[in-house]
Amino acid sequence: MKTAYGDHLTLTTDGHVATIVIDRPENNHVSVELMRDLADALEAMDRDNNIRAVVLAAAGRAFCAGADLVSPTGIGGTGMSGIDSLYEQAVRLFAVETPIIAAVQGAAVGAGLGLALVADFRVVAPEARFSANFVKLGFHPGFGLTHTLPRLIGVQRANLMFLTGRRIKGEEAVAWGLADEIVPLHELLPAAQALAAEIAENAPLAVIATRKTLRGDLAAVVRAQTAHEHAEQTILRATEDFAEGVRAVQERRPGVFKGR
């Protein structure tokens, strides 16, 4: 049976595994509403004693191209209040107790990378691309990434991703520990579901307790980190470089930044 959560999420179950698919054409940009619906769905899975693991997947070529900071109808069009509301929902995602496996088939950029790092594991296709491209926009990283990314891949590699904005491909992501398994694109969802099923066959209370120990106070840390990120983003949003970064993205060219 397929259940809809809002306009852009569907949920199906198979045994003890739930699969949530994001479908928000064309690039699965995050929005406050989408993240709220996702948090609602994941919290419902926490309450469902039959569900022991969740696969988070996305339709289309991109896993999630991040927050739309460019168009007037995107999250950037509502100013910094929209971004702050987005981070409130991000904290809810990190507080979920059920293990999550992300199936990443394409671009996971900016907030999309942040969303991929909500998951405990990432199964990727060779076509996957991970990028923390905030500096190319003249912006500060967000979605808790300044904590979650170095926690996962180490400070030095996180520095490299943050300060260059470069894209990390699927094979390199596995080598770095940014992803856990790489499979051909047509095998991606079954492979993520198989990993979820492997987790789900274990004693659920023991899995949840172990996961809590390993994650510690992650949700609280993300809350504090997003508050700092939001403050830095608010400052940078008012700069000429941010305006130039937005124009550069719209015009598909490198930014010409002045440091003001």
Residue 244 lies in a domain: no
pLDDT at 39: 97
Contact 52, 199 (CB under 8 A): yes
Token code pair at residue 97: 């107790």
Residue 127 lies in a domain: yes
From residue 247, how far is each of 75, 89, 255 by CA, in Å?
16, 28, 8
Rounded to the nearest integer, the mean pLDDT of the chain is: 94
Rounded distance, CA 142 to CA 96, Å?
A: 19
Residue 255 lies in a domain: no
What pLDDT digit, counting tens, does each position of 58-99 carry?
Answer: 999 999 999 876 666 566 666 677 888 999 999 999 999 999
Residue 24 CB contacts under 8 Å (≥ 6 apart), including other chains = 7, 8, 31, 34
Element housing 156 (H / E) = helix 155-164
Rounded distance, CA 129 to CA 109, Å?
A: 8
| Mean pLDDT (10-residue bins), the chain, 260 residues | 89 98 94 95 97 98 87 64 89 98 98 98 98 95 97 98 97 98 98 98 98 97 97 95 91 93
Helices of type H across the chain: 32-47, 80-94, 111-116, 145-153, 155-164, 170-176, 188-200, 204-215, 218-237, 240-251
For the chain, the C-alpha Rg in angstroms (whole number) is 18
pLDDT at 187: 98
What pLDDT digit, counting tens, does each position of 30-39 carry?
Answer: 999 999 999 9
Residue 143: count other Cβ atoms within 10 Å of its Cβ.
32
The CATH number of residue 108's host domain is 3.90.226.10
Rounded distance, CA 103 to CA 92, Å?
A: 20
Residue 81 lies in a domain: yes
Residue 191 lies in a domain: no
Angle between helices 32-47 and 80-94 in degrees, nearest 10: 20
| Number of domain units in the chain | 1
Residue 79 lies in a domain: yes
In residues, how long is the chain? Answer: 260
Residue 46 lies in a domain: yes
Going by C-alpha positions, the residue among 186, 75, 171 that lies closest to residue 130 is 171
Say which amino acid occupies 141.
Answer: P
Q: Which range marks the domain in which residue 39 is found? A: 4-185
Residue 204 lies in a domain: no
